[in-house]
A = this chain, B = another copy of it.
Amino acid sequence: MSKVLVSLSGGIDSTTLLGFILDGGHQTTAISFTYGSKHNKYENESARQVAAFYGVELIELDISQAMTNIESNLLLSGGEIPEGHYAAENMKSTVVPGRNMIFLSIMAGIAASRGFESLAIGVHSGDHAIYPDCRPDFISHMNHAIQFGTDFAVKMVRTPFINMDKRQIVSIGKSSLMIQPPYHLTRTCYKDQPLACGKCGSCVERLEAFEQNGWIDPVEYEVTE
């Protein structure tokens, strides 16, 4: 058993990840970030409910002032969230440059201060095409930067889903964990509205993942096709 600090956005990937890490018997704390995205207040509320469901401590940090010079349509300061499939070129406008690097760096500092031996983040292969800081190359180099940058106080960035797609993540959640993750509490939609839109790349990918598992997504949508 070791101490693991888990990035918890409140979406289905990180919610499954938290269950997966807990299944490993690790002593686990979750962390969520306010960074200025349109869906931030909804996903933060989901993160709170998911952490409470699992009974783990949640560290909530606000870095939105530090993001004011970073440009993305995912952010409140940016343009419209595009609709359609994730793989589409227009979804590139939702990249937040440096986001996972910033999250992991802050997590590394906290981990080194509080004795967490590893970090965990729910990056997966569905993100590789457009989000560079979800790719294996980035994670590999960041892993080394974190090891050397903390004098090896932090030993590892755990990314158990990095070569899986969202279908496989939902499949793990459906049938492979001791406690089924509380997907009814999660938030995936990128838009600045309480109800998930069902049309943005993030919603489309999630709906497909549930459908491919022959499962019904417990979250309510504005539009389902």
Q: How distant is the Cα of A151 from the Cα of B131 in the complex, in angstroms?
A: 9
Contact of A109 among B96, B112, B138, B150 (CB under 8 A): B96
Once the chains bind, are B63 and A98 in contact (CB under 8 Å)?
no
Once the chains bind, are B71 and A61 in contact (CB under 8 Å)?
no
Once the chains bind, are A145 and B148 in contact (CB under 8 Å)?
no
Interface status of A102 (Cβ within 8 A of chain B): yes
In the complex, how many angstroms separate the beta carbon of A72 from the nearest chain B beta carbon?
8
Interface status of A100 (Cβ within 8 A of chain B): yes
Contact of A132 among B138, B142, B151 (CB under 8 A): B151
Q: Contacts A61-B65, A102-B106 given; indicate if A148 touches B153 (C-beta within 8 A).
A: no
Chain A 108-136 interface mask (CB, 8 Å, partner B; 1/0) = 11111110000000000000000011010
Interface status of A69 (Cβ within 8 A of chain B): yes
How many residues in A have their beta carbons less than 8 Å from beta carbons of B?
45
Copies of this chain in the oligomer: 2
In the complex, how many angstroms separate the beta carbon of A101 from the nearest chain B beta carbon?
4
| Among A142, A149, A150, A151: residue with most chain B CB under 10 A | A149
Contact of A148 among B63, B112, B135, B146 (CB under 8 A): B135
In the bound complex, residues from chain B placing their C-beta under 8 Å from that of A141 are 141-142, 144-145, 147-149
In the bound complex, residues from chain B placing their C-beta under 8 Å from that of A104 are 105
Q: Contacts A132-B148, A149-B138, A150-B132 given; indicate if A97 touches B109 (C-beta within 8 A).
A: yes
Once the chains bind, are B148 and A109 in contact (CB under 8 Å)?
no
Once the chains bind, are A109 and B67 in contact (CB under 8 Å)?
yes
Chain A 43-59 interface mask (CB, 8 Å, partner B; 1/0) = 00000000000000001
Interface status of A99 (Cβ within 8 A of chain B): yes
Once the chains bind, are A149 and B101 in contact (CB under 8 Å)?
yes
Chain A 187-221 interface mask (CB, 8 Å, partner B; 1/0) = 00000000000000000000000000000000000
Which residue from chain B places its CB closest to the CB of A151 in the assembled complex? B132
In the bound complex, residues from chain B placing their C-beta under 8 Å from that of A100 are 149
User: Can you give 14 A-B contacts (C-beta < 8 A)?
Assistant: A63-B63, A66-B106, A67-B109, A69-B113, A98-B105, A98-B149, A101-B108, A101-B149, A102-B105, A135-B148, A141-B145, A141-B148, A144-B144, A145-B145
